[in-house]
Chain A
Amino acid sequence: MNTLDRDKQLVAEILNGKRQALSELVHLYHTNMTRIARSFVGDANAEDVVQEAWVSVVRSLGTFKGEASFKTWMTRITINAAKTRLRKEAKHISHATVVEDLYQDDYKEDGTWRVAPIPWDDESPDALLQSEQVLSAIAKTIDKLPDNQRIMLTLHDLEGVLMEDVCNQLDITTSNGRVILHRARLAVKAVVNKLQEV
Chain B
Amino acid sequence: MLTCRDINERSSEYLDQQMSFMQRMNFRMHLMLCKHCSRFMRQLEAVVHTLHRLSPQQSTSEEQLEELVDKLHQDPQA
Chain B contacts with A in 23-44, Cβ cutoff 8 A: 36-37, 39-40, 42-44
A51 close to B78 (CB less than 8 A): no
A-B pair count, CB < 8 Å, reads 127
B52 close to A157 (CB less than 8 A): yes
Chain B interface size band reads: 35 or more
B46 close to A30 (CB less than 8 A): no
Minimum distance in angstroms from A89 CB to a CB of chain B: 21
Query: Which residues on the A side are within 8 Å of B65 (C-beta)?
Result: 23, 26-27, 30
Q: List 5 A-B contacts (CB under 8 A).
A: A34-B60, A59-B77, A178-B12, A185-B44, A193-B43
Name B residues whose Cβ lies closer than 8 Å to a Cβ of A: 3-6, 8-9, 11-13, 16, 18, 36-37, 39-40, 42-44, 46-54, 56-60, 65-66, 68-69, 71-73, 75, 77-78
Name A residues whose Cβ lies closer than 8 Å to a Cβ of B: 19, 22-23, 26-27, 30-32, 34-35, 46-47, 51, 54-55, 58-59, 61, 103, 106-107, 110-113, 116-117, 119-120, 123-125, 127-129, 134-135, 138-139, 153, 157-158, 160, 163, 178, 181-182, 185-186, 188-189, 192-193
